[in-house]
């Protein structure tokens, strides 16, 4: 796999929740550290994402926003 994104983080799929159009995918990338992604259901099914499987979180962003109340 070759990508232009520099932030590629290996993880284990903790949970996949399918909706009508999108799926929520939760990856555990370190002990007690999870990343959540919303992808299309079609993509989740095409990737055969399932609990316990390995996957990568690929982060490509030019901005990170932080807010507080």
Instruction: Kindly report, residue by residue over 22-69, the tens digit of the pLDDT.
Output: 999 999 999 999 999 999 999 999 999 999 999 999 988 777 777 788
What integer pLDDT is reported at residue 68 of this predicted model? 80
What integer pLDDT is reported at residue 2 of this predicted model? 82
**pTM of the entire predicted model:** 0.84
Closest CA relative to residue 42, chosen from 22, 27, 61? 22
Least confident of 5-9, 13-17, 61-65: 61-65
What integer pLDDT is reported at residue 25 of this predicted model? 97
The CATH fold assigned to 7-59 is OB fold (Dihydrolipoamide Acetyltransferase, E2P) (2.40.50)
Strand pairing class (33-40; 22-30): antiparallel
């Amino acid at each position: 796999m070759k990508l232009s994104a520099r932030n590629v983080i290996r993880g284990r799929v903790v949970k996949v929740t399918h909706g009508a159009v999108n799926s929520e995918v939760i990856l555990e990338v370190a002990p007690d550290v999870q990343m959540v992604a919303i992808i299309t259901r079609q993509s989740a099914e095409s990737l055969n994402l399932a609990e316990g499987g390995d996957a990568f979180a690929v982060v490509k962003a030019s901005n990170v926003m932080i807010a507080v109340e």
